[in-house]
Chain A
Amino acid sequence: MLAAVLTLATLATLFGLLLGYASIRFKVEGDPIADQIDALLPQTQCGQCGYPGCRPYAEAIAAGEAEINLCAPGGEATMLAIADLLGKEPKPVEGDEGSHGIKKVAFIHEEECIGCTLCLQACPVDAIVGAAKQMHTVIADQCTGCELCVPPCPVECIEMVPVKTTLGTWKWPYPGENLLQRPEEQPS
């Protein structure tokens, strides 16, 4: 009896120490699940999900506090990728427009700009250059199209313009098979 109790107690202590050591020795910095989710998000930093950027939203999903269908710019593709990663049921995306809509970037009508710097402060990726009382302009290549700069502008000189398709960005369309085609395979 005593031997059994002692054996079990010793084993328990040993394993406890082992686990305690492992939790210190192999401690993982940050949250790997959040990292993986963050890598799937489109990084527009638009805040349409209700979180102040893509990273906070990824952390919220990882913590189970947020739904997976809140990312409008990512659209269905992003939602499906996250559902696949986490093994969750896919849900329809609210306000889905991103992946199917045309990508837009901000454009400042420079003759109307008064140089107030409000849009500079709103831009999450520092894609607007300018200074107080100097004209501002958008670096189109860096703009994620989040539209966060549009509401703060006091003179409404920022417009979202669609990105033009060039020879370099043109894509071959999905072939339309005109016979025996199921409805969900209609070319998008």
Chain B
Amino acid sequence: MITRNPGSWDFHGGIHRPDMKALSAGRYLGKVPLPERLVIPLQQHIGTPAEPLVKEGDQVYKGQTLARVSEYIGAPIHAPTSGTVVEIAEHPVPHPSGLSAPCIVLQADGRDQWWDGLPEPLPWFEELDAAVLRERIRWAGVVGLGGAAFPTSVKVNPGPDRKIQTLVINGAECEPYITCDDYLMRTEADRIVEGIRVLMHVVGADECLIGIEDNKPEAIAAIKKAVAESDLATTRVVTVPTRYPMGGEKQLIKVLTGKEVPSNGIPADIGVICINVATTAAVTDAVMAGRPLLSRLVTVTGEGVRNPGNLEVPYGVPISHVIAFAGGYTDKAYKLILGGPMMGFTLQDDEVPVTKATNCLLVASRDEAPDPEPALPCIRCGRCADACPAQLLPQQLYWYARAKDLEKCQEYHLFDCIECGCCSWVCPSHIPLVQYYRFAKTETWAQEKEKQAAEEARRRHEARVERLERLERERKARLRKKKEALDKKAADPAGRKAAIDAAVQRAAERKAKRRPEEPS
């Protein structure tokens, strides 16, 4: 079935703010030269961390699998260049906590030599089963490059019960400042279209809708041209209005198809799968070239960097190295934000590596990212509810999160919050609303884990008590049996005599048996 008038719907709320994309749009600074040391985190995706396949001192080649995953939700990690593994240890990673996590440290040898174990390209993918292609996407370590880093192989496997009608390609890039997807669409439209062909085959979709915000006319023109030149009959480019968070998965699906993803559901429940444009290009590389995900486009922007633009960065390169390549910091540099100004988080340290989820490095000036103003009491103006694209009640959620009433938070659908930051942005009292929701979410998960652990502990304790009781019962039963046997013998002198006689007889027989052999 084909969607009629795609893009004629709207999502609730959202905000308009200056998109600030002119700073970096269309500017390409080149591929960042490899530093001597690459720090490659084992977890760059949602799911379980990958397990290292190499050890310290191993020589590895570009594209070689460094770490694999055994769980379903996860993605392997590959060597971005050839070199020697010098260390597998904990290093600081780009995460709001500032914590360290296990990383593979690679000493680059400068030869950038490809691994000879790469799989063959599959240009005849249309004759292959979807499962084979999913396995290839999984091998290549492809994850959502829009910033969430959910494993793509899992996303394109909706299961046998869900028929996929629409493949949505997300080129909205709604977050201010970020232009890496825009640049990719302008310059590599063919690669994206090729990826769409592969994905259409993998998910078995009837149609494909490419959503691009109207502030990217060059990208729209390039993609339209590439689609027109291809054999994709049911693929349409849809220009959507520029409004944050248009690029949110659920919001874009609503605008393009008019369908709403149910609460606690995923897009596949309504027959839609949504993939980012950069991820689509990565799928092309995996299938058509047999190459894993080794680098990505990163936007380096803001008033705090001398030469803003887009760069090709191999994973594991320290952020300081990337900033230096973009001309270094200016005097205005005040905050280093990973991601955009709405959903990104401030980094304390620029020595952390670029990972699969790093789409933007915003070196903001004091004007661009002012310190939060002191929070005032909520005046119940309701602007947050008007702005919420998930149609939640941010105010109610705020009261309950603040009172640490997690049950009530869940009643008000805390987990439908996409943390887009619209409510905090419009709040006239400058209440850090999203911080409260993030706190409530992680607290809820921690409590659930604790509950499970307590349940497990009780089960184990009960099993232990039962075992001890059983052993005690068995011991008692054995003693009783022994005692009974003894008592029986003692009570029956005739039987005792008979038993002794029998024993004497047995001994005599044995003696008689042995005697003939004795002379030999």
Q: Is A127 an interface residue (CB 8 A)?
A: yes
Interface positions, chain B 231-246, Cβ under 8 Å from A, are: none
> How many residues on the B side are at the interface (Cβ–Cβ under 8 A)?
37
Q: Is the CB of B454 within 8 A of A42?
A: yes
Per-position binary interface string of chain B over residues 440-467, scored 1 when its CB falls under 8 Å from any chain A CB and 0 otherwise: 0111001001100111111011111100
The answer to whether residues A167 and B435 also contact, given A42-B454, A45-B461 and a CB cut-off of 8 A, is: no
> How many residues on the A side are at the interface (Cβ–Cβ under 8 A)?
30
Q: Is A144 an interface residue (CB 8 A)?
A: yes
Q: Which interface residue of B101, B377, B439, B454 has the most chain A CB atoms within 10 A?
A: B454
Q: Is B374 an interface residue (CB 8 A)?
A: yes
Give complex CA distance A44, B458 in Å. 8
The answer to whether residues A174 and B442 also contact, given A43-B461, A179-B376 and a CB cut-off of 8 A, is: no
Q: Is the CB of B93 within 8 A of A167?
A: yes
Q: Is the CB of B431 within 8 A of A177?
A: yes
Which residues from B are CB-within-8-Å of A53? 461, 465
Which chain B residue has the least Cβ–Cβ distance from A188? Answer: B404
Interface positions, chain B 350-396, Cβ under 8 Å from A, are: 374-377
**Which of A55, A166, A172, A173 is B101 in contact with, Cβ under 8 Å?**
A166
Instruction: State the Cβ distance, A81 to closest chain B Cβ, in Å.
Output: 11
Instruction: State the Cβ distance, A132 to closest chain B Cβ, in Å.
Output: 16
**Which of B43, B432, B449, B453 is A175 in contact with, Cβ under 8 Å?**
B432
Per-position binary interface string of chain B over residues 92-107, scored 1 when its CB falls under 8 Å from any chain A CB and 0 otherwise: 0101110101000000
**Which of A41, A54, A172 is B442 in contact with, Cβ under 8 Å?**
A172
**Which of A38, A144, A172 is B439 in contact with, Cβ under 8 Å?**
A172
Q: Is B412 an interface residue (CB 8 A)?
A: no
**Which of A125, A169, A172 is B460 in contact with, Cβ under 8 Å?**
A125
Q: Is B438 an interface residue (CB 8 A)?
A: yes
Q: Is B436 an interface residue (CB 8 A)?
A: yes
Q: Is the CB of B97 within 8 A of A44?
A: no
Give complex CA distance A167, B100 in Å. 8
Q: Is A165 an interface residue (CB 8 A)?
A: yes
**Which of A43, A55, A166, A185 is B454 in contact with, Cβ under 8 Å?**
A43
Give complex CA distance A127, B374 in Å. 48
Q: Is A126 an interface residue (CB 8 A)?
A: yes
Which residues from A are CB-within-8-Å of B456? 142
Give complex CA distance A104, B453 in Å. 14
Which residues from B are CB-within-8-Å of A124? 461, 464
**Which of B439, B461, B465 is A174 in contact with, Cβ under 8 Å?**
B439
Interface of A is mostly: loop
Q: Is the CB of B99 within 8 A of A167?
A: yes
Give complex CA distance A11, B376 in Å. 68
Give complex CA distance A180, B438 in Å. 22
Instruction: State the Cβ distance, B446 to closest chain A Cβ, in Å.
Output: 6
Which residues from A are CB-within-8-Å of B461? 43, 45, 53-55, 124-125
Which chain B residue has the least Cβ–Cβ distance from A99? Answer: B450
Give complex CA distance A63, B492 in Å. 53
Instruction: State the Cβ distance, A16 to closest chain B Cβ, in Å.
Output: 39
Which residues from B are CB-within-8-Å of A173? 439
Which chain A residue has the least Cβ–Cβ distance from B403? Answer: A185
Q: Is the CB of A172 within 8 A of B438?
A: yes
Q: Is A88 an interface residue (CB 8 A)?
A: no
Per-position binary interface string of chain A over residues 22-66, scored 1 when its CB falls under 8 Å from any chain B CB and 0 otherwise: 000000000000000010011111000000011100000000000
Which residues from A are CB-within-8-Å of B441? 172
Instruction: State the Cβ distance, B375 to closest chain A Cβ, in Å.
Output: 4
Give complex CA distance A178, B376 in Å. 9
Which residues from A are CB-within-8-Å of B436? 175
Which residues from A are CB-within-8-Å of B455? 43
Instruction: State the Cβ distance, A141 to closest chain B Cβ, in Å.
Output: 8
Instruction: State the Cβ distance, A72 to closest chain B Cβ, in Å.
Output: 15
29 intermolecular pairs with C-beta atoms under 8 Å apart? A41-B454, A42-B454, A43-B453, A43-B457, A43-B458, A43-B461, A53-B465, A54-B458, A125-B461, A126-B460, A126-B463, A144-B453, A167-B43, A167-B93, A167-B95, A167-B99, A167-B101, A170-B97, A171-B439, A171-B442, A171-B443, A173-B439, A177-B375, A177-B431, A177-B432, A178-B374, A179-B375, A180-B376, A185-B402
A-B pairs with the 7 shortest C-beta distances? A179-B374, A175-B435, A43-B457, A43-B454, A171-B442, A172-B438, A125-B460
A-to-B contact residues, CB < 8 Å: 38, 41-45, 53-55, 124-127, 142, 144, 165-167, 169-175, 177-180, 185
A172-B439, A177-B374 given. 20 additional CB < 8 A pairs?
A42-B454, A43-B454, A44-B457, A53-B465, A125-B460, A126-B463, A142-B460, A144-B453, A165-B97, A165-B99, A167-B93, A167-B99, A170-B95, A170-B97, A171-B446, A172-B443, A175-B435, A177-B432, A178-B375, A179-B376
